[in-house]
A = this chain, B = another copy of it.
Amino acid sequence: MKLSISKHELNEAIQQVAKAASSRPAIPILGGIKIDVTHQGVTLTASDTDISIQSFIPVENDEHVIAKVDKPGSVVMPSKFFVEMIRKLPADTIEIEVGDSYQAMIRSGSTDIQMVGMDPEEFPVLPAVEESEVLQIPGDLLKAMIRQTVFSASTSEQTPVLTGVLWNLQDGLIKFVATDRHRLASRTAKVDTAPEYRFTNVVIAAKTLVELSKLIPDGSALVEVVVASNQVLFRIGTLLFFSRILDGTYPDTSKIIPQSFKTELVLDTRKLTDAIDRAYLMSREEKTNIVRLMTLDNSMIEVSSSSSELGKVTEQLEAASLEGEPLRIAFNSKYMLDTLKVIDSEQIIISFTGAMSPIIIKPTDHANSLYIILPYRTTN
């Protein structure tokens, strides 16, 4: 293997795939980046047990020559050192030459590096994903759907399937659901796909979706999604991102959403967020994060929290509308803040069935998002 390549393009591609390289590999090869060089271009691949990322650098694009390939070949480089070193090389062009037993020579300007590479035959093979159906989602929509659901996924490995976000597709509607049993976030969107194409119980680890999200550029460029039996493939430009589908059956959450409400409030999202944020500061001192919400007369509500050591915070807020029965309810203020922070709508509707029933939060400007927080059972 022998080539010279633009530092800029190589560095960009390496930074993208390196996220999939294991930082504490069980065997050294899993902490590596595979480099495959052909006369068409350079393919970089990294893979741990959960995700694999592959990026392709063509030898030239419309504007200029990116790589000059003298001799095709493959090698695996130790990721951590390789990623940092390529970024810090002095010249715009990098020469890479791999000889016998994967001894690599890297040259750039006055820098000369000998590296011990690894056998590409030992590198894990990428999952085969059969592309029968492809789902296309605009990048910014996919990023928003991820941001608006991942925070509700469980962080406990006790029920592994709950550490993921559930994806369902039916009638051209894609729906994301995440819950840790104390709260739930769901987000729906229309997508361009064959109307008969459907899938259910596709669960992708929340932390994988967060990594995916960072690789999606801003804007509405389409991300292609291919769902196979135990893998999902995301195609973002020349980047391929493979994720394992989590094992297990996701619980049916449809039953926990109340269908009728006794009290409904419309509130300014920003003002409620700020008021709860201040009450949270006090509730945090008690480790419980308990904040109380109470309806008052004249469309006013009161948000409060107290700490035996520190004191009490009381906030009064005017509701844009307040309908139904008077209410006193207590909830985890951290969960409420997490939810309010992902709602982009200026106003929200909060619906209650009673002090012991799930709290439903929705934006006022569209019907595609729904959040649930279970209340605390307190004595007063």
> A residues touching B (Cβ–Cβ < 8 Å)?
78, 81, 84-85, 88-90, 104, 110-116, 274-275, 277-278, 281-282, 285, 309-317
A81-B285, A285-B81 known; A313 vs B278 contact (CB < 8 Å): no
Among B85, B275, B310, B314, which residue has its beta carbon within 8 angstroms of that of A81? Answer: B310
A88 and B277 contacting across the interface, CB-CB below 8 Å: yes
Residues in chain B near residue A114, CB distance under 8 A: 311-312, 314
Residues in chain B near residue A311, CB distance under 8 A: 104, 113-116
Residues in chain B near residue A104, CB distance under 8 A: 311
A275 and B315 contacting across the interface, CB-CB below 8 Å: no
8 further A-B pairs in the complex, CB-CB below 8 A; given A110-B315, A115-B311: A90-B274, A104-B311, A111-B278, A112-B314, A113-B282, A113-B311, A114-B314, A115-B310
Q: Which of chain B's residues has its CB closest to A110's CB?
A: B316
Q: Within the assembled complex, what's the spacing in Å between the Cα atoms of A282 and B115?
A: 10
Q: Within the assembled complex, what's the spacing in Å between the Cα atoms of A282 and B282?
A: 48
Residues in chain B near residue A110, CB distance under 8 A: 275, 315-317
Q: Which of chain B's residues has its CB closest to A284's CB?
A: B81
B310 and A112 contacting across the interface, CB-CB below 8 Å: no
Q: Within the assembled complex, what's the spacing in Å between the Cα atoms of A72 and B282?
A: 27
* Nearest-Cβ distance from residue A90 to partner chain B, whole angstroms: 6
A113-B312, A310-B115, A310-B116 known; A85 vs B281 contact (CB < 8 Å): yes
Which of A89, A278, A316 has the most B CB atoms < 10 Å from its CB? A278
Residues in chain B near residue A85, CB distance under 8 A: 278, 281-282, 313
* Nearest-Cβ distance from residue A266 to partner chain B, whole angstroms: 18
Among B281, B285, B312, B314, which residue has its beta carbon within 8 angstroms of that of A88? Answer: B281
